[in-house]
Structure 1
Amino acid sequence: MKCVFVGSLKEDSGYIVEVLQEKEYEIIQAGEYDQIEKTINPVLESQAEIAVYDLLPLNDDPLEIVEVIDSIQQSRDGKKIIFLAAGMGKNTPVIDALRKAGYVNFVLDSTYGAKKEKFARCLTNFYESNADRLDRELSDTELPRELHFTAFAGAQTRIGTTTQAIQYAGYLADCGKRVCYVEETGDFFPQKLFETYQYAAESGDCITYAGIPMYTGKTMQEMLKMNYEHFVLDFGSIEREQFAASLFFDERMQRVIVAGTKPQEWTHTKYVLANALCKDAAYILSFADISDVEAVSGAFFQMPLFAGYIPDMFARDQEDLALGYRRLFPEEETKRKKENRKKKSAHKRTRRAL
């Protein structure tokens, strides 16, 4: 039997190859597409008995996806089709629309083992014959990860953008968060660090140092497939000719501008402050002296974080920065306190039970 796969068979989708090889299915790679219409010809020309779609790269409206899938399935005489969407819940618009259209084979789990098990089950007619089980399993699917994207950009070059991004990633790691650092400058900082630092470790496209996994040049679609909850992105100077503006201004980003207060720096800082697209950004002022606080604070909608000189970007004893992060990102601080209260409450219940 033949199976056509629409998506990218990188390591995150390795379970698909494993299962298909175990069952001795021939796999045909149709490629990855951002629009559902582009998949019509590759899928139909494959003449495969099974079609597998990774929904994450698709940018279409859910109803448009359903309309095209219905058309494809009509031409395929209703042969089996399986949808992958790691981390999505059953009430996500595209999943909800496909379920209402009668489709039953979904792999929504986030962990490798769960995805492999669910995919193997989808290859049988299990869900076609057990509609009640489908609804129950989708309800029990691991809750979609709540993803956080924090984008750091400098108002100018050499203002400490990478240092501040690494500092924040380290802070999140120390808080027990699944976090990674992603360089979006094209300077290959993680690779250069690996060549220089003795204790940096390399695994695939990931360089890890001081407990921080680091990557270079990831797209939003790639990040959505990665097993992290927090992504700290380093865009370098906003003045760069190759500045990745479309990703930096993505609506999912919490933007942070790293700027300066010295006379030669303040011109760049004021320029960014005047940019309407940066109005919602938080600000970290690098190499700032305490005497600068009163002088410049009034220029900002929200009190900026004043960061002094940090000789080692991987140092983790910056308590003043930790306090500043809690003020810059109050929503995160509220969640942290709620989690701590839940843990304390659970501990009390356990003690009473004993």
Structure 2
Amino acid sequence: MEPGAARQNREPGKGIGEMIVFVGNEEKGFFIRDVAKKQNLRAAFIRPSLHIKDQVGEILACQQCKYLVYDIEQYTDTGDVIAEEIRRIRMANNAMPVIYASGYNQQSDIVMFLKYKGIRNFIFSAYLADKKEDLEKCMLGTAELPEEDPGLEIQDKKRENENSLQKTIGIAGVIPRMGTTTQSVQFVKYLLFKGYKACYIEMNEHGWVEELADAYTATTNDPEIGKVTYQEVDLFYKLEKLPDVLKLGYDYYVYDYGVFSERGFNKVSFLEKDLQIFLVGTKPGEFMKTYELIENNFYNNVIYIFNFCREDKEEHEDTYELMGEKRNVTYFAPDCRDPFIFSNAPLYEQILPLKTAAGMERRNKRRGIFKRKKQMSKKKEQDIF
């Protein structure tokens, strides 16, 4: 076998025939073997890569490839880049692309881009038997393909990103009980303090918002959309209602992702956020996980907040040294006993410096008046000449 070629599983005595190739980690794609055997195909695997372009040569070198199953979680490329590359490969070798997107939201940007490029076969299931069934349906052409054309929706998303004030903040913890929920609420309180309309979204399976509603009578609960309001903070807990929440006109959405190593952690959704924050710690177990994050190439643009650390300048300086080149995106959170009492404006000002919403509004009004004055002056000049 030539160097770089896909590793293949072939039964002794059988000649070269059509095959199904899993592009990604073999430990994740092992389920294709059973499906391949059932369909009298060969199974092959192409090693994972952070960039799909680095795999193109190996993919195109696979002779008689009939199906290509892509694990999109391996990539750090943007959704439009991945979708375009998969489209080009399909045009080159005519193999059917199947997207392994176990645990992905079907409305996530990358899925929408893939659909937009005409790629409609997906494996969203989390359980082994269901993965095999989904793959077989894709291969046999019996999968329920999405009927909607995502083109308009993608254009709307682009327009929203260009014209809307809406910003997204994703917060995740390195281990359980790192204070992720507290910091998420604190960010909302900071934004409210600045005069912006902001809300909290429970992007995990902990059920904290509903527990809060059960524990305190001072909450208001709208079960239809999954909204609890407490101490002036709007908290949303029904992920299936997220598209409706995003239409409510908040300036900022703060997503609490829980623990990054949990099964339900949506890495792609987290990486799509405008501001990505990890809650980390200095204790032995905490820092080992923190170091894993620092070395992980997926998380190159994140901010690190050390929680539950002593107010000790010497200890902070030691931590900065350990963080190395991440020093400039490293912060220390103060002690916060009640998430609904805003505790430390300077910390959030450093991470997300904002003018007050009222000040921004006054500035925009001044710009509007100035623009109208310029238009009026221009009209007068036209009248004169």
TM-score range, shorter chain: 0.5 to 0.7
1:95/1:248 Cα in 2 relative to 1: closer, same or farther (>3 Å)? closer
Q: 1:1-354 to 2 correspondence within 5 Å?
A: 59=112, 93=155, 144-204=163-223, 205-218=226-239, 221-249=243-271, 251-291=272-312, 292-298=315-321, 299=323, 300-316=326-342, 318=343, 321-330=344-353, 333=354, 339=360, 342=363
1:62/1:260 Cα in 2 relative to 1: closer, same or farther (>3 Å)? closer
Aligned pair count reads 224
* Equivalent AA in structure 2 for residue 305 of structure 1: Y
Pairwise CA distance, 1:253:
3.5
Name the CA distance, whole Å, in 1 between partners of 2:304 and 2:249: 28
* Equivalent AA in structure 1 for residue 210 of structure 2: Q
Name the CA distance, whole Å, in 1 between partners of 2:179 and 2:157: 42
Pairwise CA distance, 1:262:
2.2
Pairwise CA distance, 1:257:
0.3
Describe the superposition over 1:123-148 as per-residue Cα deviations: whole angstroms up to 9, x where unpaired: xxxxxxxxxxxxxxxxxxxx943211
User: Secondary structure at 2:263's aligned position in 1?
Assistant: coil
User: Secondary structure at 1:302's aligned position in 2?
Assistant: helix
Pairwise CA distance, 1:152:
0.4
Describe the superposition over 1:168-223 as per-residue Cα deviations: whole angstroms up to 9, x where unpaired: 11111121111110001112211110100121111232100011100114366444
Name the CA distance, whole Å, in 1 between partners of 2:282 and 2:346: 21
Name the CA distance, whole Å, in 2 between partners of 1:164 and 1:269: 17
CA contact (8 A) 1:186 1:217 kept: no
1:211/1:290 Cα in 2 relative to 1: closer, same or farther (>3 Å)? same
1:172/1:269 Cα in 2 relative to 1: closer, same or farther (>3 Å)? same
Name the CA distance, whole Å, in 2 between partners of 1:284 and 1:263: 16
Structure whose CA Rg is larger: 2
TM-score of the superposed pair, with normalisation by structure 2: 0.50
**C-alpha RMSD over aligned residues:** 3.9
User: Secondary structure at 2:112's aligned position in 1?
Assistant: coil
User: Relative to structure 2, which stretch is displaced further, 180-189 or 337-346?
Assistant: 337-346
1:95/1:282 Cα in 2 relative to 1: closer, same or farther (>3 Å)? closer
Name the CA distance, whole Å, in 1 between partners of 2:117 and 2:301: 33
TM-score of the superposed pair, with normalisation by structure 1: 0.54
* Equivalent AA in structure 2 for residue 327 of structure 1: Q
1:283/1:337 Cα in 2 relative to 1: closer, same or farther (>3 Å)? farther
Identical-pair percentage: 22
Unaligned runs of 5+ in 2: 1-106, 119-148, 371-385
Describe the superposition over 1:303-333 as per-residue Cα deviations: whole angstroms up to 9, x where unpaired: 42211321111112x2xx3212121124xx2
Pairwise CA distance, 1:167:
0.7
Unaligned runs of 5+ in 1: 1-54, 66-82, 97-107, 111-142, 350-354
CA contact (8 A) 1:62 1:94 kept: no
* Equivalent AA in structure 2 for residue 167 of structure 1: Q
Name the CA distance, whole Å, in 1 between partners of 2:157 and 2:259: 39
User: Secondary structure at 1:59's aligned position in 2?
Assistant: helix
Name the CA distance, whole Å, in 1 between partners of 2:331 and 2:361: 25
CA contact (8 A) 1:257 1:281 kept: yes
CA contact (8 A) 1:155 1:238 kept: yes
User: Secondary structure at 1:195's aligned position in 2?
Assistant: helix
